[in-house]
Structure 1
Amino acid sequence: MVWTMAQKFTQAMVDRWLREAEPGQQFYDAEAKGLRLVVGSTGGAYRHVGRINCRGGRYITINIGRADEVQLRQARTASAEVRLALKRGEDPRKPVSSVPTVQEALDRYVLRDDLTERTKEFYRECLKGPLSKLRHIPMDLLEREEVRTLHEEITRDRGPYRANGSMRCLRALYND
């Protein structure tokens, strides 16, 4: 690996390094502290290297994007955002919160005290039967058109009452 001194990047310099630099070579941006261009055998990538501002603050590397897909200006902006997160003591590699799947949402929802056992059993049956296609999908990835199509399929196969009941179940889970 060849190390170079920090220098202010320009887009033309980045393009030239991608064509001419040897794989493994790293270039450091003097303007955006922590931003690096790492050249590989098939291209290059922007990375931010920094320390998390917390007890035992370790150094981490965050991939910003491929240099042929991300412009230098965008890489600097992303690097600045990562740097601010590190200063706040956050680890940008970890998701802020995890979104439950439809099954996980049901498991949590049926723990409520205000539901009757009959309602809980109906919701479980909906997820085993008509809504089984959605079981392992995260709640935030459910799309309106997908749910509409599923409603039409359930209506055709099992009737409108079952379809509407299944959608009420899904809506309760989504709103919870």
Structure 2
Amino acid sequence: MMDLRLSLTDRTVASLELATSGQYFARDTDLSGFMVLVGKRRKTFVVQGERRKAGKRLSVRMKVAEVGELTTRAARAKAKDILGKIASGVDPRASRKKSDADTVVVDLPSIGNPTLRIAWERYRDGHMKKKGRSNGTINNYRDHVERLLSDWLDEPLSKFGNDPALVTARHEKLTKENGAYIANGCMRTLRAVYNHARKAARSLPADNPVSAIDWNAEHRRNSALGLSDLEGWFTQLKALKNPVRREFHLFMLLSGHRPEAIRKVRIEHVDFRARLLHIPRPKGGEVKAFDIPLSKAMIRCLVRVMRIGQVLYEEQSRDWLFPADSESGHMVEHKEKRDDLSKWGNDLRQTFRTIAQAAGVAELDVHLLMNHSIPGVNAGYITRNKLLSDHLRQQQEAISRRIFEAGSSRQKETEGKASGWPALPSRTALSELASVKA
């Protein structure tokens, strides 16, 4: 949770909710340096001030009392006395006896030197969630910090800022054990968390310790299908047993979008009248929401999967476009065995980009269709929504047509209008498949 600033009274302190994870501070607006540290189980009155020693400013923080042991007014009066001593250059902690329960020095994460755990939670709640980052992006960062750097969670960030060799050694270790791409991704996350923490913790070393690493070389994966490969891919696709998954992979090829977003499309997101599919939470979160213009082949694909879903997954299909027997009700895994289907997921995204080029679609239009950021200053003045109903849909039609033309000359005759896909199986056939699945 994010730190708070409010006038501390018995009532406001009692109303503070315990932290769901980590800790947060509620700072008093009436007395600077007086605050309540709120954890998962308890609340503690804390005081923090600065004193000078040998010309250096040193931060002193200590426990005043547990909430409940003193009233807020009494705790503030005690904090004021402690702050006065700190300002005069005295460290009150040095003269306290361990037997005095009210003056036990506690090891609390400093605002000026937060632990990785505290810095991550502040970055997650104060930056990522505020910016509307998607759950997938947040979970990816969480995996880097809480799994790959789990043994560092309770270490202060200054430890790494003052000794970047620790970071370079961890990067090398992750490269060997987890791979070059994951190691680089983890370090990018650490770099972002450190930079965010230093905005408030100015005593942290200015040089980000991640700048010391030698980045692993990353190459764009070249896994797209070429025009000559599509006929064989369509043959594999038709052989897949689950018709919902067949239509999902086909739609991935026709749209060129990320599988994580398409799997979670709801029925309400389809607008057949406007011939659009709305993607409310793509990569980047709600602020990046956009609409996909639908070609005729894409519309037929969606109609088929909706009808198939009603038979195979009657309850789930009321909400989800690509339903499944899962806890969420929609497809949660799109991977196939490579022997069954050679290309899926982001392979098809690359294929869409490749075939768009072969179909003569302009580079800018491809960026717009795939919801990529638009390069160049002048391109930023283009309003995407104004192009959806005519220009971009025509380009989408051209790409779909080229896909099926390359897939097989015979497939065009199956449904007509270059749809390139078999007609919907009979309800009897689907019912038999449903009984086998059950």
- With normalisation by structure 1, the TM-score equals 0.49
Higher relative contact order (CA 8 A, sep 6+): 1
Higher-Rg member (1/2): 2
